[in-house]
Amino acid sequence: MGAGFLMLREESSDQLTLAFLDVGQGDAVLISKPRQYDLLIDGGPDPIVLSRLSDILPWYDREIDVIFLTHNHADHYQGLLAVLDKYKVGELIVSALAEPLPVELLDSLKRHKLSYTKMPAGTQLQLDQTTKLKALWPVAETPIADMNDRSLVLELVSGERKVWLAGDAGVAVEEALLKNNLVEDVDIFKLSHHGSDTANSEEFLELLRPEWVVAQAGAGNSFGHPNRRIIKRAERVGAQILRNDERGTIVFQTDGREWSYEASK
């Protein structure tokens, strides 16, 4: 599998890669342009993320420019501890409401002499001429009790193509985004909260109208993720469903106009 993905990248080196890594029950998404940048959003629950990264990144690439942590739950940050030990990481970016960070993550940052930056809604990073990553949530000034709802919600735009990654944000966040008229057509949506029915509301999915939804869930997980009703709902709005528990790692590529994708299973 690794060789296949690598070949794919070498053949089309100007393409943006968006990989939904099969890390079991947890989230890990790699955004990469060969020889330009590697960004990792969440790291799954354990060091399995290292072997998933090495399936895609060339062996000599030991740097990750930016790691994003959507929120402080173990199925999102614990794999990052292994990533911080193995890769030279440039920076950690967290949700505007991430503090306090987990102690073991703070310890690791200290050991690796790294600091972190908060990314409030509205902040935008220009990754290359045609690619940018924007935070849609959370707003820094609004305190939220629910950890999932403090998730960093990110919009990736590459040329004419658009992707939303919503961490584990729930229905309340979706309602706030709807109220602010921020929800519009995307190509790919990472189902929020592993496809749970605490998120992915009908109105939200109807406005997003994704061509593909990706469920980052582990085989036989005890939460019943992704929820069967949410899968039906995504199908009803016309989305094709791709699940890490069924397809392994799912790798999309785009030139800014078209998408292609490949799955490891």
Residues of this chain that interact with Zn ion (CB under 5 A) are 75, 168
Q: How far is the CB of 191 from Zn ion (least distance, A)?
A: 11
Q: How far is the CB of 213 from Zn ion (least distance, A)?
A: 16
Q: Which amino acid is at 93?
A: I
- CB-wise, 22 or 75, nearer to Zn ion? 75
Q: Which amino acid is at 126?
A: Q
d(CA 180, CA 51): 40
Counting every residue written for the chain, the total comes to: 265
Q: How far is the CB of 76 from Zn ion (least distance, A)?
A: 6
CA distances from residue 182 to 136, 173, 178, 179 in whole angstroms, order as listed: 8, 11, 6, 8
DSSP H stretches of helix in the chain: 2-11, 48-56, 74-86, 103-111, 171-179, 202-208, 228-236, 244-247
Q: How far is the CB of 2 from Zn ion (least distance, A)?
A: 26
- CB-wise, 89 or 169, nearer to Zn ion? 169
- CB-wise, 28 or 89, nearer to Zn ion? 28
Helix (H) or strand (E) holding 133: strand 131-137
Q: How far is the CB of 222 from Zn ion (least distance, A)?
A: 13
- CB-wise, 22 or 57, nearer to Zn ion? 22
- CB-wise, 16 or 214, nearer to Zn ion? 214
Q: Which amino acid is at 64?
A: I
